[in-house]
Amino acid sequence: MPSDRFVVGVVGPCGSGKSTLIAALEARGFVCRHIAQEHSHVQDMWRRMSDPDVLIFLQASFPVCSARRTLNWSEADYAEQQRRLAHALARADLIVDTDSLTPGEVAARALDFLSTFQPNP
């Protein structure tokens, strides 16, 4: 059930499906924040910039990210993104590996989780 009581943050490497999931959640009335933590050297920039009540981390492997988007970076660049995302990953409320899921399946997992989520007061 959508709620204006909490903000959903979505984070993950480039090509993991963040924009697609956010569009699906917003279409159902959720307030979402796209968090581009993978571009920041500041570990907790995701929290400083958006301070979400719930954090969803979308994981995707380098081959899958590369297939989904035209990327001009190497596996070393991907590994650096993963390093930058480690702080958010460790604090995520929900982690979804999107490699073998359709966008609809990713959205369904997020919606299922959010239907029972209770933000901390």
- 13-31: per-residue pLDDT in tens? 988 999 999 999 999 999 9
> How far, in Å, CA of 14 to CA of 59, rounded?
10
* Structural domain includes residue 107: yes
* Structural domain includes residue 119: no
Q: How many domains does the chain divide into? A: 1
Total length of the chain? 121
Domain encompassing residue 93: 8-114
CATH number at residue 109: 3.40.50.300
* Structural domain includes residue 94: yes
* Structural domain includes residue 45: yes
pLDDT beyond 60 at 40: no
pLDDT of residue 100: 96
51: phi > 0 → left, psi -120 to 50 → alpha, else beta; which? left
pTM of the predicted model as reported, rounded to 2 decimal places? 0.86
Residues 64-114 have pLDDT tens digits of 988 887 777 888 988 988 988 898 899 999 999 999 999 999 999 999 999
* Structural domain includes residue 2: no
pLDDT beyond 60 at 32: yes
